[in-house]
Structure 1
Amino acid sequence: MGGRWRQRALRGASAGKIADVSDELSAALGELRRLLDHDLFPLAIGDVAADRRALKELTGQLDDYLLPRLAAIDAPLLAVVGGSTGAGKSTLVNSLAEQDVTEAGVLRPTTLAPTLVANPGDESWFLATHVLPGLPRVTGRWRGEPGTLKVVTTENVPAGLALLDAPDIDSVVTANRELAAQLLAAADLWLFVTTAARYADEVPWAFLRTARERSTALGVILQRVPRDALGPVRGDLARLLEENGLGGTPLFVVPELDLPSESTRLPPSAVQPVKDWLAELSADARARAEVVRRTLSGALDSLGVRLPALADAVERQRHAATELRVLARKSYDTGMAAFDEGMLDGTLLRGEVLARWQDFIGTGDLMRALESRIGRLRDRVVAAVRGRPATGRELATALESGVESLIRAVADGSAERAVEAWLATPAGRDLLERSGVRTAGRLGRASPELRGRAEIAVREWQGYVLELVRTEGADRRGTARAASFGVNGLGLMLMLAVFASTGGLTGIEIGIAGGTTVLSQKVLEAVFGDQAVRRLTERARADLRRRVRELFDEEESRFTVLLDGLTDTDPDALRAAARAVHERRLELPEASTGEAR
């Protein structure tokens, strides 16, 4: 007798210790919950459906069970009655409550909304959203609607314990299956209901194994067992429980009964063993504390496995997002290389630009005079420049238009490459599809705003080139020569030199249309000198590349903005939160084996 009292005293001390450490543990779980309050898996990578399901289950258990239970260790027990389709869960609940508190019948699914049955003294606890906060409460005669929790009170349910009739765990309705799993994760005690015909089905055993892994307190009710098979069926189910690590689980057998088809309850004698067991649990505060301790400890221990797996999945998401950013960057890097090639291959110096240059400079016999004295060439160019201000503006406009066209063409190609690269990956394809087909179509071409931005960038670059010439011409040795040509004329020649593969380094004709760059370069060298021309050309080209890169970065951001904020959760922060929970968990007393069941 003394040993029994000592055991009970230890249980009471353990329950007190749970309360002592619950505040620190609640704080650690609250921080964990904050980290999980995001869409951690926005990208379709790996088995993302399983990752999202695991996240939903974990956040649900935190909200529905762990946080409220730690906040009120002594709150009434919640016993969730769950099982397969047609197992008789609603009939069992009605029988235990000794009145029709939930619908029972042959139509499937019968339970469209869960019904919670509690003692009137516990009603306020369950009407408040301490547990299952996401389910609005319905009371009285109102029929529970999907997405609600109907709360019914009766004196026939003992104080300190409530019964919750859950939807079928194998329902044909997806929402019902998900709700059943959510309710089972919120339970202090799970009453698993099955039948002689279905106790070996795989779906229920998957849930039972989860209960084992999380040490959820459990009772099994086996119904509709033919009387001549009571022993063999009970023995076979007990064997399966033992093989699945659930040996010692309380097992109650209800024989097959000849009941009227309209009956919604079993005879009192058929469920009396279950009622007695539940009444004993609810009457003994220490026994209730043992159930809470076992289920609470098991749920906390399961985080040690679930959270690292979740953090690894979050890390995969971040890697996938990084890969998509890299693919977008490479597409526009390729575009930048194409722009560089377009600057140097002479394309911009043909067509309209060449025609306007010829109008501007009067190239008929100037080209034949390239080997004459530079002074004589300079005189003729000076005369041409001074006499054709209108054609100078036309040349500047043609050059501006050519550069803008090159920018837009390259931006179109970059956008198309980026879309193709993303579509080639599951994550990118999913992201584009969720962004909308029309959005993906727009992303495949340069943005409508690029034209205006490119015009501004090229005009500002032309202004920068003119300022370079003005600054360089202010040198005392070059002032006279610079003045003779004019800033605008020299600026145009420097712009032409930028688009030559020679880059101002030589004066050798290399096939650029009509010797255009050779002539402009000869004049520039006569005014500023070889080294100055090289420096000015490099600076002008670098400034244009910088402006184009900025334009391309803006275009690239149309892709990367789809990733911004998607994967902000740090997997290391999740792991740190898991460690903090584990450290607080170690301060809880261990649950004794066997007694909770």
Structure 2
Amino acid sequence: MTARLDDASANPGGQDAQMLTALVRLRGALQEAALPLDLPGTDELRASRQQMLDQLEDYVIPRVMTLDSPMLAVVGGSTGAGKSTLVNSLVGKRVTTPGLLRPTTRSPVLVHHPDDAHWFGQDRLLPDLKRVEHATDDPDSLQLVASETVPQGLAILDAPDVDSVEERNRQLAAQLLAAADLWLFVTSSARYADAVPWQFLRQAADRSTAVAVVLDRTAAEAVQTVSTHLARMLSSRGLKDCPLFVVHEAPVDSDGLLPPGHVGDIRGWLESLADDTAARTAVVKQTLDGAVRSIAHHVHPVADAVVRQAEVASGLRESSRRAYDLALADTRRATADGTLMRGEVLARWQEFVGTGELLRSLEDRVGRLRDRLVSAVKGKPQQADRVVVAVESGLELLVLEHAEEAAERAAEAWRQQPAGQELLSSADADLSRASRDLRRRAEQAVREWQTDVLELVRAEGADRRTTAKFLALGVNGLGVALMVVVFSQTAGVTGVEAGIAGGSAALGQKLLEAVFGDQAVRGLATRARQLLDDRVGDLFAAEEARYTALVDAVSVAPEAAVAVREAVRRVDDLRFAANQP
């Protein structure tokens, strides 16, 4: 259907070419205006959007393309009103199956004159329904019946009950009525006040759809009372000008047909419309214009909803971003303020540098201290490796702790929105917890950072590798010293820990300065710090992506609202121009 309509808009012809192009563009804009997030009132707007798309594809666009095609009269109404019997009686032979078992009509039946058959191919009216020429119960099929008794220029379609017990039948009935040029709405003296049929009749009034009402199966003594009340109800609901026909209750013949005289008025009226090109065209244009006007009116709430959806999607992204930005900031702070220089990391570092004596010597002359530091750590490669392992473990736990907090914060923020709740429930995993493989990825990232640090040391010491101090400390020894300096750059802890962190940083600084000098050490610390931030940032970005991927997957397109409004504005302009005298 889409390809055919796009082709039609690319090569329009005739006086309605501009409107056809505008309607095709409106349909395309509506298709892009999806409402995937569950917000208050979205279900109704989704249904409205789908109804507009269905009417554009099933009726409006095909009808604009074929204004000269036969007028389609859809016979619809309540359960048990006698629609199938009425259709058979109007045609003069059995073309659709009546009966007591409900629902009777499951698959729509379209009766037309043989010379009009070409108007009802698969690429025309109701393109989604498969065409068949035999009786079927398949609701996705449209049975075509050619009959000489139907005047050329008219087609009659028997639709399922609008209040059927089967939802698919109700949906199909609504779809068929929306595709009609003329509603032949059938009710009975027992069902004419039912709520569901009146919902459809109100829609017809709102759309200015051409409607005729048939009061079927009415006993002679009840005709005056019921018809008068029904006429009054029609008038009060905006349908005072629609024809009202009464079919008296009567036995049917062996073929299930009512006596010809009982349906003569309806048949005569339909035949007069079929014979009068001007009258038939007026009915078609009335319904068509009403349908276009109704679509144009109901499009704007959908466009507004698209904007709202985009705002909510942006808000969800922002709330998860804030949660992980905070986690990253907390992790950066904890890896720079001496927090890591506690517990296992501190113990292994003290083993490595022998800090008991060295901490008491911090006020000694710098030259002596550097020499003593080098002597203290000389020949301790095993202790350096232990510091590396302790750093790896400490960093891993820190990342995991803040990732868990971020996941919990992000999930809680999303739960404040119905859309966020729905997206969280659709996820493959519990997003309120860190990823199951984060520990492995954190371990890998920390090891890669430690490798980065050792490479920095190697590169900086390229021309010093043969010096006594470089050989005494080794790449690993200088590497762990650089890590300690990075972890204690701001010395944000307090009390006794502040002294430990500050002393640890000072010792690491002195070790590095003994080999590289003051200026080089500052550059090394800055680069190592940035590399650590980048590694941790990548981990949290991947964790946050679990949330943003859910939003991205639902394809909220804020630009679709603009396209819808522009498209409907063009349709309105063309309607206004066409209605000018």
Instruction: Please report the TM-score for the alignment, with normalisation by the length of structure 1.
Output: 0.87
Question: Does 443-452 or 159-168 show the bigger shift?
Answer: 443-452
Provide the C-alpha distance between the structure 2 equivalents of 1:503 and 1:525, rounded to a whole number of angstroms.
Answer: 19
* Aligned counterpart, 1:87: 81
| Structure 1 match to 2:7 | none
CA distance in 1, matches of 2:257, 2:499: 99
Corresponding residue number in structure 1 for 2:138 = 145
Decide whether the 8 Å contact of 1:404 with 1:451 is kept in 2.
Answer: yes
Contact 2:161 2:169 in 1 (8 A): yes
Distance of 2:492 and 2:202 partners within structure 1: 77
Q: Partners in 2 of 1:164 and 1:529 — Cα distance?
A: 94
Q: Report the CA distance between 1:162 and its aligned residue.
A: 1.0
Specify the alignment match of 2:220 in structure 1. Answer: 227
The correspondence of residues 517-536 of structure 1 with structure 2, limited to 5 A, is: 517-524=505-512, 536=524
Q: Which residue, out of 163, 175, 178, partners 2:171?
A: 178
Unaligned runs of 5+ in 2: 1-11
Unmatched segments (≥5 aa) in structure 1: 1-17, 592-597
Q: Report how far residue 73 of structure 1 moved.
A: 1.0
1:33 equivalent in alignment to 2:32 = no
Structure 1 CA distance for aligned equivalents of residues 170 and 20 of structure 2: 29
Partner-residue secondary structure (3-state), 1:221: strand
Query: How big is the shift at 1:318?
Result: 1.3
Which residue is equivalent to 1:237? 230
Distance 2:547 2:492 in 1: 37
Deviation larger for 537-546 or 278-287: 537-546
Q: Which deviates more, 42-51 or 234-243?
A: 234-243
Task: State the secondary structure of the residue aligned to 1:167.
Answer: coil
Q: Is residue 216 of structure 1 aligned with residue 206 of structure 2?
A: no
Q: Report the Cα distance in structure 1 between the residues aligned to 2:79 and 2:499, rounded to whole angstroms.
A: 83
Structure 1, 41-50 or 465-474: larger mean CA deviation? 465-474
Equivalent residue for 1:283, pick from 275, 278, 284: 275
Q: Partner residue of 2:41?
A: 47
Matched, 1:56 2:50: yes
Partner of 1:444: 432
RMSD: 3.0
CA shift in 2, pair 1:453/1:440, >3 Å: closer
Shift in Å, 1:188: 0.9
Q: Distance in 1 between matches of 2:89 and 2:415?
A: 57
**Cα pair 1:115 1:144 within 8 Å, conserved:** no
In the other structure, the counterpart of 2:266 is 274
The answer as to whether partners of 2:111 and 2:156 remain within 8 angstroms in 1 is yes
Q: CA deviation at 1:341?
A: 4.0
Deviations 1:58-85 (A, max 9, x none): 1101110111111111011111111111
Corresponding residue SS for 1:387: coil
**1:317-370 superposed Cα distances (whole Å, 9 cap, x missing partner):** 112211211221122123223313432454422233223213322334223323
Q: In 1, Cα distance between the equivalents of 2:376 and 2:489? A: 26
How far the C-alpha of 1:53 sits from its partner, in A, is 0.8
Q: In 2 relative to 1, CA 187–483 (structure 1 residues): closer, same or farther, beyond 3 Å?
A: same
Hey, what's the Cα distance between the residues in 2 that align with 1:99 and 1:326?
A: 67
Q: Which residue is equivalent to 1:401?
A: 393
Rounded to whole Å, the distance in 1 between the matches of 2:432 and 2:67 is 58
1:583 aligns with 2:573: yes
Which residue of the partner structure matches residue 107 of structure 1? Answer: 101
Distance 1:418 1:582 in 2: 44
Q: Return the alpha-carbon distance in structure 2 between the equivalents of residues 86 and 512 of structure 1.
A: 90
The number of aligned residues is 566
> Where does residue 564 of structure 2 map in the other structure?
574
2:247 to 237, 249, 254: 254
Which secondary structure does the structure 2 equivalent of 1:99 belong to? coil
Aligned to 2:193: 200
Asked whether the 8 Å contact 2:491–2:501 carries over to 1, the reply is no
How far off is 1:265 after superposition?
2.5
Percent identity between the aligned chains?
51
Shifted more, 522-531 versus 352-361: the winner is 522-531
CA–CA separation in structure 2 for the residues paired with 1:69 and 1:509: 82
Deviation string 1:275-305 (CA, Å, 9 cap, x unpaired) is: 0111111112222211111111111111221
134, 138, 149: which one pairs with 1:156?
149
Q: Take 2:100 and 2:323, find their aligned partners in 1: how far apart are those partners?
A: 61
Q: Is the 8 A contact 2:72 2:155 kept in 1?
A: yes
Length-normalised TM-score, structure 2:
0.89
In structure 2, the CA distance between the partners of 1:122 and 1:128, relative to structure 1 (3 Å rule), is farther
